[in-house]
Amino acid sequence: MSSIDTPLDLTLDGGALTARLVDFPSVSGDEQALADAVETALRAYPHLRVDRYGNNVVARTGLGRAERVLIAGHLDTVPIADNVPHHIEGDLLYGCGASDMKSGVAVALRLAAGLTEPNHDITYVFYDCEEIEASRNGLGHLATAHPDWLAADFAILMEPSGAMVEGGCQGTMRAQITLTGTRAHAARSWLGDNAIHHAAEVLGLLAAYQAREVEIDGLKYHEGLNAVRVDGGVAGNVIPDECVVTVNFRFAPDRSVADAEAHLREVFEGFKLEITDSAPGALPGLGQPAAQAFLAATGGQARAKFGWTDVARFSALGVPAVNYGPGDPDLAHKRNEYCSLAAIALVEERLRAWLTD
């Protein structure tokens, strides 16, 4: 049987190559062996220039085409949960990363090996540490160290999207709203000022909040403003002097991070509010010619991406980007994660048609 010491064979069909990749453990932080195998396999193809930075591998055609398309996939997975090696039941290939996103990586590797004369120049990016803290994200490291390697007119992230184009992504912002009061013994509560009671108004604003829905480039976005944590209390006999409500605002990509912060400060006017982290959204960019052609080639249907993805990194670099991959987004990170073999074949076929028509 194959093992991590067996070279990757990029002539296997998409399903078989996905199975091979699932059986090649690469939990976040432990991608080196797989990055080595990917690099070695790609270096066998003379139409590609292969570069490496850390455990990130970038392969590019250099045909002088008018436009360059970037196809990217992360090599890492969430921790294995008794779901390696893979197994197949009918059309479904089960295993860690089957959906998120070794099926997408398999398609990208197949295209890289097979498309010697594509109609656009293509940059293939295989990167590490997508599933963990943003500071370790390989795409982020490449953007800092070798931004020229990521130059492109349009980018496709092969994240699980159910073989449907998902455009843009919503931004996310977390903030802490701190209510203060005065501590006292609960037996003489009138000597204190209960900070938890002050949170009533904040939670009331959240409960009554009408989240905006907005259409951008034909895609419908749906915002959300929610408490994700509330924490207050000193002891069972003490009037608490502090209560913190942590909120998470998911905002449509027509708002910048600054707009989102201004909105939160307006909603919670008069309260002490501190932004603890944020990430911008990404506009779908489906008005771009390359995106239009891609969309037509993949069936003409697109939907909004609500979750935050690395699409936003490309957006920040000025590269319109979409998610398009064979995996099912609802299965990502689940123990029974699987991918449809038919979806793997379909996504490859459509990309191949678009890039060679």
Q: Which is nearer to a second copy, 123 or 172 (CB)?
A: 172
Q: Within 13 Å of residue 112, how many CA atoms lie on the same side as its CB?
A: 32
> Of the listed 23, 31, 76, 223, which one is catalytic?
76
Task: Supply the minimum distance, in Å, between the C-beta of residue 309 and a second copy.
Answer: 10
Q: Is 76 a catalytic residue?
A: yes
Quick check: 194 binds a second copy (CB under 8 A)?
yes
In sequence order, the 6+-apart residues with CB closer than 8 A to the CB of 220 are: 213, 214, 303, 304
CA 87, 93, 97 angle in degrees (round to 5)?
Answer: 95
The answer to whether 334 contacts a second copy (rule: CB under 8 A) is no
Q: In what order do the strands lie in the sheet with 56-60?
A: 49-53, 56-60, 121-127, 68-74, 154-157, 321-323, 165-167, 302-304
- Residue of 4, 81, 145, 211 interacting with a second copy (CB under 8 A): 211
Compute the half-sphere exposure of residue 108: CA atoms within 13 Å on the CB side of its CA. Answer: 32
Is 51 tagged catalytic? no
**CA gap 11, 254 in Å, rounded:** 42
**Catalytic annotation, pick one of 130, 166, 217, 348:** 130
323 forms part of the interface with a second copy (CB under 8 A): no
Nearer to a second copy, 249 or 324 (CB): 249
Q: Is 24 in the site for a second copy (CB under 8 A)?
A: no
* Identified binder of a second copy from the candidate list 243, 260, 264, 295, rule CB under 8 A: 243
Q: How far apart are CA 353 and CA 357, in angstroms?
A: 6
Asked if 207 interacts with a second copy (CB under 8 A), we say yes
Nearer to a second copy, 97 or 232 (CB): 232
- The least distance separating a second copy from the CB of residue 281, rounded to whole angstroms, comes to 11
What the block records as the tokens of 234 is: 């000193």
H or E, element range at 50: strand 49-53
Q: How far from each other are the two terminal CA atoms of the chain, in whole angstroms? A: 38
Binding site for a second copy (CB under 8 A): 170, 172, 174, 185-190, 194, 196-201, 203-204, 206-207, 211, 222, 224, 226-240, 243, 245-246, 248, 250, 306-308
Q: Catalytic positions, please? A: 76, 130
